[in-house]
Amino acid sequence: MEPSSHSLSPADRARIEGVGARLSAVVPAVEWAVHTPYLQAIERLKIERNAVILAHNYQTPEIFHGVADYRGDSLGLAYAGAATEADVIVLCGVHFMAETAKILSPEKTVLIPDPEAGCSLASSITAADVRRLRARHPGVPVVSYVNTAAAVKAESDVCCTSANAVEVVESLGVERVIFVPDEFLGRYVAARTDVDVILWNGHCEVHERFRPAEIRDYRRMHPGLDVVAHPECPPEVLAEADFVGSTTGMIDHVRSRRPARVLLVTECSMSDNVSVEFPEVEFIRPCNLCPHMKRITLAKIQRALERLEHPVVVEPAVAQRARAAVERMLEVGRRN
């Protein structure tokens, strides 16, 4: 299908022409000339395709602030996409996120601008691995982090996020659970519950690189620093933090505390994006970048919309079982 050639309304034209202004407080002026043609082309294509763009917190500012209609963590984006009346969703994130969006919006076309945008954590485990874990631990339920492929979700009893992992584990009312794939998030959960947690040796290649000595060095260089860490970090790094939480939890912490200076111990672009909302807070940036997130560019987003390129496909039976695991997680929240 080619983009529609219908004439644009004056409001649409104004929307397209004014899109570059979004970057005025986000990126240096010298970059505007580079980004603005892409932003305008993408805005026009969104109108013509009836498309929305979902951008994860780890996307670069010109994507996060320049073209995204919805911004946030992976599961929040998937639900935002499902709630829209768009025909097309462009997921600016990694592949498991696009799969989740497709699972929750099976009737929509879901595109990922670069299908090679993977995830070290999601790729650390397969559906076959989960089946082997079940065989090794008969009757023990499987809790899978949402940062997993659809096929892994489909083999799980229930999903969780980094924000609700403890609550989900305890909701099962059992003595033992299998928790996959993030070992460090699993250890964080195990330290906060009496449930015996069987772990998998999966890690996020961004968060696992942080070291406690690095955090202590930042504190020495920046007195009064508020250290906020994601639970995918190693336990010894979390022990150095003032607050541990999901990406949404980290933002909420900054919003409520308004520290003079803060260190977000997570992917670097999140600080770039969050700092726009809190100009009075000094963000100290430990620049660990996710190479997979950075595969998504404005040029690839434009091409995906032009060609309806790289549609995400999830086999219906897998999608049905995966969605059931996600919905069981949501039921835990409704009960409490």
176-235: per-residue pLDDT in tens?
999 999 999 999 999 999 999 999 999 999 999 999 999 999 999 999 999 999 999 999
What is the average pLDDT across 279-305?
94
Q: Spell out the residues 6+ positions from residue 69 whose beta carbon is closer than 8 angstroms to its own.
A: 46, 52, 53, 54, 84
In Å, what is the CA distance from 222 to each residue of 251, 263, 278, 317?
20, 10, 18, 52
How many Cβ atoms from other residues are within 10 Å of residue 268's Cβ? 17
51-56 β-sheet, strand order: 70-72, 51-56, 88-92, 109-111
**What angle do the packed helices 29-49 and 298-307 form, to 10 degrees?**
20
Helices assigned H by DSSP within the chain:
10-17, 29-49, 61-64, 74-83, 95-104, 127-136, 150-154, 165-171, 183-190, 212-221, 235-238, 247-257, 268-274, 298-307, 316-335
Peptide bond into 181 cis (omega under 30): yes
Asked whether this chain's domains 10-117+293-307 and 207-284 adopt the same fold, the reply is yes
Alpha carbons 204 and 121: distance in angstroms, whole number: 5
Q: What are phi and psi of 92, to 5 degrees?
A: -95, 90
Distance of CA 106 to the CA centre of its chain: 20
What confidence score (pLDDT) does residue 21 get? 67
What is the average pLDDT across 239-259?
96
Of 3.40.630.10, 3.40.190.10, 3.40.50.10800, 3.90.1300.10, the CATH number of 207-284 is 3.40.50.10800
What's the mean per-residue pLDDT of the chain? Answer: 92
For the stretch 173-189, pLDDT in tens is 999 999 999 999 999 99
| 8 token code pair | 């644009």
Of the candidates 319, 295, 138, 288, the residue with the CA atom closest to the CA atom of residue 204: 288
Query: How many CA within 13 A on the CB side of residue 202?
Result: 23
What is the average pLDDT across 298-312?
98
pLDDT at residue 262 is higher than 50: yes
For the stretch 122-174, pLDDT in tens is 999 999 999 999 999 999 999 999 999 999 999 999 999 999 999 999 999 99
What confidence score (pLDDT) does residue 299 get? 97
For the stretch 52-98, pLDDT in tens is 999 999 999 999 999 999 999 888 999 999 999 999 999 999 999 99
Instruction: Enter the pTM of the model.
Output: 0.90
What confidence score (pLDDT) does residue 333 get? 63
Exposure of 223 by Cβ count < 10 A (0-12 exposed, 13-18 middle, 19+ buried)?
exposed
Q: Spell out the residues 6+ positions from residue 170 whose beta carbon is closer than 8 angstroms to its own.
A: 193, 195
What confidence score (pLDDT) does residue 164 get? 94
Cα-trace Rg, the chain:
20
Q: Under a CB-based contact definition with an 8 Å cutoff, are residues 185 and 145 in contact? A: yes
What is the average pLDDT across 272-298?
93
Q: Under a CB-based contact definition with an 8 Å cutoff, are residues 264 and 228 in contact? A: yes
| Level-2 CATH architecture, domain 10-117+293-307 | 3-Layer(aba) Sandwich (3.40)
What confidence score (pLDDT) does residue 20 get? 65
What confidence score (pLDDT) does residue 2 get? 47
With pLDDT > 90 as the criterion, what percentage of the chain qualifies?
83
pLDDT at residue 279 is higher than 50: yes
CATH topology of domain 122-204: Rossmann fold (3.40.50)
What confidence score (pLDDT) does residue 5 get? 45
What confidence score (pLDDT) does residue 287 get? 76
Q: Where are the domains of the chain?
A: 10-117+293-307, 122-204, 207-284
Alpha carbons 336 and 334: distance in angstroms, whole number: 6
Band (31; pLDDT cuts 50, 70, 90): confident
